[in-house]
């Protein structure tokens, strides 16, 4: 019974076996529309005393910082 070897004997065939056709690239993901007024997690550098001021009143300090920034933004408009 004549069987073909598992590995190509011919160096050219061996090289061709290494470079199989590239698979088709997956379709690009569609961008979802932004949710209005959605919060976004970021990293923000602020002075320690400013952070301590907002944290003095306990939980909710991130919302208080956001409110202060929103007030400053609206004052600029």
Domain count, the chain: 1
pLDDT of 10 reads: 82
52 lies in some domain: yes
pTM: 0.53
**CB neighbours of 16 closer than 8 A, spacing ≥ 6?**
8
Structural domain that includes position 53: 47-77
Question: What does each of the 77 residues of the chain score in pLDDT, given as a tens digit?
Answer: 566 667 667 888 777 777 776 677 777 877 777 777 788 888 999 999 999 999 999 999 999 999 999 999 999 99
pLDDT of 1 reads: 53
9 lies in some domain: no
pLDDT of 8 reads: 62
Distances (CA, A) of 48 to 29, 53, 60, 68, 70: 40, 9, 17, 16, 20
77 lies in some domain: yes
pLDDT of 74 reads: 96
């Amino acid at each position: 019974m004549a069987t073909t070897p598992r590995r190509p004997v011919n160096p050219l065939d061996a090289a061709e076996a290494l470079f199989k056709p590239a698979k088709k690239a997956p379709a690009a993901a569609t961008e979802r529309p932004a949710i209005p007024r959605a919060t976004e997690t970021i990293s923000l550098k602020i002075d320690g005393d400013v952070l301590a001021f907002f944290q003095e009143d306990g939980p909710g300090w991130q919302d208080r910082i956001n409110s202060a920034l929103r007030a400053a933004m609206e004052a600029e408009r």
